[in-house]
Amino acid sequence: MHPCGGDKMSGCCGNKTNCEKSTIKAEKGEIKVAIVGQPNVGKSSIINALSNAKLHVGNFSGVTVEKKEVYVKKNGYDVLMTDLPGIYAFNAYTPEEQVAKDFLIKEDCDVIVNVVDANTLSRNLIFTLQLLDMHKKMILVINMVDEIEKRDGKINKKRIEKLLGVPVILTSAKQNRGVDEIIDCIIDTYNAHIVKNKIYYNEKIEQRIEDLAKILQKSQHFRDKDYSRFIAIRLLDRDENIYKIIHDLPIFIEAHKALEKMYAKLEAEFDEDSTTDILANERVAIARNLQMEAIDVKEEEESLSEKIDNFLIHPILGLPIFLFFMWALFQLTFVLGNYPMNVISSIFSETSAFLADLLPKGVFNSVLTDGILPAVGAIVMFLPNILVLFLGLNLLEQTGYMSRAAYLMDGFMKRFGLQGKAFVPLVSGFGCTVPAYMAARTLKNPKDRIITMLVLGFMSCGARLPIYVLLVSAFFTNENPGNILFFIYIGGAILGLIVAKILRTVLFRGEPEPFVMEIPPYRFPSFKALGMDLWIKTKMFLKKAGSFIAIAAMIIWFLSAYPANDDMVQKYNAKIEQTSSVQQKEQLKNDLNSKLLENSYLGSVGKFIEPVFAPLGMDWRLSVAVVAGLSAKEVVVSTLGTLYSMGGVNETNKGLIEKIRANVDFKAAIALIIIIMIYSPCLAAMGTFYAEVPQWAWRVFYTIYPNVVAWLMAFGAYKTLALMGY
Amino acid sequence: MKNISDLKIDEEAIVAKMIAKEPVKGRLLSMGIVKGAKIKVVAHTLARQTWDILSDNTKVALREEEARCILVEETK
Ligand SMILES: Nc1nc2c(ncn2[C@@H]2O[C@H](COP(=O)(O)OP(=O)(O)O)[C@@H](O)[C@H]2O)c(=O)[nH]1
């Protein structure tokens, strides 16, 4: 009898005496649970469907893989569930899978909840069998039963319970069926005394497992019989992580010798290349058998999914359709995101005006209302764009289209040393680099991910648009400015791909990474899941960008406001008092501001860095604007405005355009555009990169190389134009 | 022996041998592409560089290189 098998799901086992015997842990307390399953089986959906659950999102220690913890209180127990990243099998392949595997092996959890997809049961069960080797308390959750029912199929739950020896729960996260039974079953399983699950392999394999386990038991680490059996199986499966664990133990030599012999013997006996294959074949056979016995469903004819795919991944039509979707997403991000932009922007400016009057005058007032609030506002202003982009990307991901896009783009991206999947973050980079870095998480291969993140900055983000608009309107009066803009964006993207190719050949040499990826069936997205995800992303984004931008803004503000120059302020104020003409007053105020700025720390920095930019024909003002743009790209235009004595202008202001045209040489303007296109993105983006990439070498490289490339390209363009006589 | 990249769209076959190396082999296995499995080519891109294979209710995208490592025989 299973702890929570039978028809009564919530109670313990039906048989009273049996139940009492099995309850050894009378004390209530915390139950640690690992939720594990292959990708796309519906784990997140199940967690979202749990009632009374508290969700906490963080990172697994040391890595940026998202860690979701769910906490449920029931019948006096605290059930703490960790949602592990999707993992196909114990022979971990991607960094995320490695995280899940390490957790399963190293953390001491009380109950394992294995979620599987009823539609692809036999393939899922292969991994379930590997989990059963651990011989821990386990529950099998078979999700998506609604889809089996839709095909008039039946799942024989009791049969699976009997064959595997673990309680089984049938759920449909979509219809919210059976989900809450999981918690009851966890509690019952936790309290149950016996662990029944045990999978037996072929006689010859079992013999080896036993022999090896006996050797292992000589070490105090493996005294536990179940544990030594698990380790023995993993070793026979040629699991390198486990091999490393025993490598430093005194029994290593004996175990190693025995293993080598066993490998050779078994491989000869089964006529296979590797014991891994032998165990795999065993598991496949058991899993197929289980599926045949437990599920009765007729094979699908052409499913709806396949009909849609006939069109969407058509050899000829597929690519244009995909490009259209991407274009539409890009448009929506800008168009929909722009509506709330003005509202947010005015909320921030009103608030800071209000606070400026309310608070006593002084440094605190200025730093808050001139420095921090406008800068934080500038970032929050883009939140709507970012949410639209995220929603779009989530929709693509949730419906299953994203993997089709990766499939379609793979051939093209391969020529540039990237994977099909990399296209998605690259496209989101046109909106904002910050979420694009996060989107790069979908790239499993660490090399691909680093390359993609290193070239993401070349995709000009939305915040750079005002700078381009300003410069293009100033210098390209004859040409169609829209075309020039398009050229700038496309140019950046092409450059990014070329740099990716160079990085791949120079720094990441070697075989191209294999591309093997599951394409899940199309599914109607769950709005609750979409909402939850957006909410979590919003919170994390606001927290990260808010703290980062606030600090950066404070630094910039102090640099531009100090040292205080009271003499000059008094002199100018006296002059302003004397003149009666409004125009002259304005002029004087602007002169004062630009004098103050020139003498501020920022001004000194500008003078100091001027020599770097001088070969590009850029003066200290452009230099400061470029450097200030490192805090946020919006700052470039506002800084230029101040520096050219225009205080508080925006890019559509005719005056600034004319001033720029008058003061900046055409060659220098082109150099400036190139710099803006290529050099480091804003601080928020850089902070995100640092958070996502833990290796210092890459952080340093990332911080330096775009600026070097930008300078060289700008210099080349400047000199070429000079030769052409501009 | 034929491999997957020799097949046409909608053609079915049985996996006869996997000559892929680890870790790709393990990956294919955990997606249901194993010796004896029935597979069907769902689609390939115009240049036949990337393939979409159906096996055991699961669709898997592969590159040509990987497709060549899966030897197949005709369905009976
Ligand atoms: N029909 C059906 N779809 C489901 C069910 N559970 C999840 N899904 C869908 O399956 C897809 C993958 O689910 P998700 O929770 O993201 O999977 P995860 O990768 O395991 O976290 C989503 O589109 C869900 O809406 C279910 O019980 N029935």
The CATH number of the domain where A174 resides is what? Answer: 3.40.50.300
- In this complex, is the C-beta atom of B62 within 8 Å of any C-beta atom belonging to chain A? yes
Cβ–Cβ of B62/A318 closer than 8 Å? Answer: no
- A36 and A123 co-located in one domain: yes
- A48 and A104 co-located in one domain: yes
Residue A635 falls inside a structural domain: no
Please name the residue whose Cα sits nearest to atom 19 of ligand 1.
Answer: A40
Cβ–Cβ of B58/A123 closer than 8 Å? Answer: yes
- How would you label A262-291 residue by residue, b for 16+ Cβ within 10 Å and e otherwise? bbeebbeebebebbbbbbbbbbbebbbebb
- A157 and A211 co-located in one domain: no
The beta-carbon neighbor of B34 closest among A284, A318, A407 is: A284
Residue A176 falls inside a structural domain: yes
- A387 and A503 co-located in one domain: yes
Edge-first strand order for the sheet with B12-18 is A516-519, B58-63, B50-55, B38-44, B12-18, B70-73
Q: CA A315 to CA A303: how far, in whole Å? A: 19
Q: Please tell me the distance between residue A596's alpha carbon and the centre of ligand 1 in angstroms.
A: 60
Q: How far is B61 from chain A (nearest CA, A)?
A: 5
Q: What is the mean pLDDT of each run of 10 residues along chain A (726 residues)?
A: 43 36 54 92 88 78 73 90 90 78 89 93 92 92 92 90 91 91 92 76 90 89 87 91 87 90 91 88 90 82 80 88 78 70 78 86 79 67 72 81 85 83 78 79 77 91 79 80 77 90 82 78 83 80 67 72 80 84 78 78 86 90 86 75 51 63 89 94 86 88 94 95 88
Residue range of the domain that includes A272: 203-291
- In this complex, is the C-beta atom of B8 within 8 Å of any C-beta atom belonging to chain A? no
Length of chain A: 726
Looking at residue A498, what is its pLDDT?
93
A521 contacts on B by Cβ (under 8 Å): 59
Q: Please tell me the distance between residue A297's alpha carbon and the centre of ligand 1 in angstroms.
A: 20
Q: How far is B40 from chain A (nearest CA, A)?
A: 12
Residue A436 falls inside a structural domain: yes
| CB distance A605 to A434 below 8 Å | no
The beta-carbon neighbor of A407 closest among B23, B34, B50 is: B50
A91 contacts on B by Cβ (under 8 Å): 22-23, 26, 30
CATH (domain of B23)? 2.30.30.90
Q: CA A75 to CA A190: how far, in whole Å? A: 13
- A156 and A30 co-located in one domain: yes
Looking at residue A187, what is its pLDDT?
92
Residue A511 falls inside a structural domain: yes
Q: Note if the bond before A446 is cis, omega within 30 degrees.
A: no
B47 contacts on A by Cβ (under 8 Å): 411
Three-state DSSP class for residue A636 = helix
Q: Using alpha carbons only, how large is chain B's radius of gyration in Å?
A: 11
- A485 and A506 co-located in one domain: yes
SS3 annotation, A328-392: HHHHHHHHHHHHHHHHHHHHHHHHHHHHHHHCCCCHHHHHHHHHHHHHHHHHHCCHHHHHHHHHH
- In this complex, is the C-beta atom of B21 within 8 Å of any C-beta atom belonging to chain A? no
| CB distance A684 to A545 below 8 Å | yes
Atom of ligand 1 nearest to the CA of A175: 27
| CB distance A449 to A426 below 8 Å | no
- A178 and A208 co-located in one domain: no
Q: CA A110 to CA A103: how far, in whole Å? A: 13
H or E stretch covering A117: strand A111-117
Q: CA A63 to CA A85: how far, in whole Å? A: 12
A93 contacts on B by Cβ (under 8 Å): 23, 26-27
- A415 and A506 co-located in one domain: yes
Query: What's the burial of A330, exposed, middle or buried (CB within 10 Å: 0-12/13-18/19+)?
Result: middle
- In this complex, is the C-beta atom of B14 within 8 Å of any C-beta atom belonging to chain A? no
Domain count, chain B: 1
Residue range of the domain that includes B29: 4-73
Quick one: tokens of A691? 């958070």
Atom of ligand 1 nearest to the CA of A47: 15
Q: CA A280 to CA B34: how far, in whole Å? A: 9
Q: Tell me which of A516, A517, A522 to substitute to probe the interface with B (most B C-beta atoms closer than 10 Å).
A: A516
H or E stretch covering A77: strand A77-83
- In this complex, is the C-beta atom of B75 within 8 Å of any C-beta atom belonging to chain A? no
Name, in order, each residue with C-beta under 8 angstroms of A527's C-beta and a sequence gap of 6 or more. Answer: none
Name, in order, each residue with C-beta under 8 angstroms of A638's C-beta and a sequence gap of 6 or more. Answer: A650
A420 contacts on B by Cβ (under 8 Å): 50
Quick one: tokens of B58? 């699961």
Nearest residue of A to residue B62, measured between CA atoms: A516
Give the pLDDT band (50/70/90) at residue B76.
low
A516 contacts on B by Cβ (under 8 Å): 24, 27-28, 31, 60-63, 66
Please name the residue whose Cα sits nearest to atom 26 of ligand 1.
Answer: A144
Residue A278 falls inside a structural domain: yes
Q: Please tell me the distance between residue A68's alpha carbon and the centre of ligand 1 in angstroms.
A: 16
Q: Please tell me the distance between residue A46's alpha carbon and the centre of ligand 1 in angstroms.
A: 8
Atom of ligand 1 nearest to the CA of A526: 25
Cβ–Cβ of A122/B56 closer than 8 Å? Answer: yes
Cβ–Cβ of A120/B30 closer than 8 Å? Answer: no
Domain count, chain A: 3
Q: How far is B55 from chain A (nearest CA, A)?
A: 10
Q: Tell me which of B30, B35, B38, B53 to substitute to probe the interface with A (most A C-beta atoms closer than 10 Å).
A: B30
Instruction: List residues of A whose CB lies inside 8 A of any B CB.
Output: 38, 88-89, 91, 93, 119-120, 122-123, 126-127, 274, 276-277, 280-281, 284, 300, 306, 309, 313-316, 318-319, 403, 406-408, 410-411, 414, 420, 512, 514-521
Looking at residue A80, what is its pLDDT?
93
Q: How far is A38 from chain B (nearest CA, A)?
A: 9
Please name the residue whose Cα sits nearest to atom 17 of ligand 1.
Answer: A42
Q: Which residues line ligand 1 (CB under 6 A)?
A: A 37, 39-45, 86, 143-144, 146-147, 172-174, 398, 523, 525-526
Q: Which residue has better confidence, A417 or B7? A: B7
Rounded to 5, what percent of chain A is helix, strand, coil? 65, 10, 25
Q: Note if the bond before A615 is cis, omega within 30 degrees.
A: no
Residue A572 falls inside a structural domain: no
B52 contacts on A by Cβ (under 8 Å): 309, 313, 407, 519
Quick one: tokens of A615? 């070969």
Q: How far separated are the first and last CA of chain A, in Å rounded?
A: 88
Nearest residue of A to residue B23, measured between CA atoms: A93
Q: Please tell me the distance between residue A45's alpha carbon and the centre of ligand 1 in angstroms.
A: 6
How are beta strands A295-296 and A516-519 bridged, if at all?
unpaired
- In this complex, is the C-beta atom of B52 within 8 Å of any C-beta atom belonging to chain A? yes
- A284 and A430 co-located in one domain: no
- A535 and A497 co-located in one domain: yes
Quick one: tokens of A60? 């697994």
Residue A4 falls inside a structural domain: no
Looking at residue A24, what is its pLDDT?
41
Boundary-marking domain end, from A291, A308, A340: A291
Residue A405 falls inside a structural domain: yes
Cβ–Cβ of A123/B47 closer than 8 Å? Answer: no
Rounded to 5, what percent of chain B is helix, strand, coil? 20, 40, 40
CATH (domain of A218)? 1.10.287.1770
Q: CA A98 to CA A672: how far, in whole Å? A: 44
Give the number of beta-carbon pairs within 8 Å between A and B: 112
- A273 and A403 co-located in one domain: no
Longest alpha-carbon distance in chain B:
30
- A505 and A360 co-located in one domain: yes
Atom of ligand 1 nearest to the CA of A41: 20
Q: How far is residue A392 from each of residues A333, A395, A421, A428, A439, measured CA to CA in Å?
A: 8, 5, 16, 10, 12
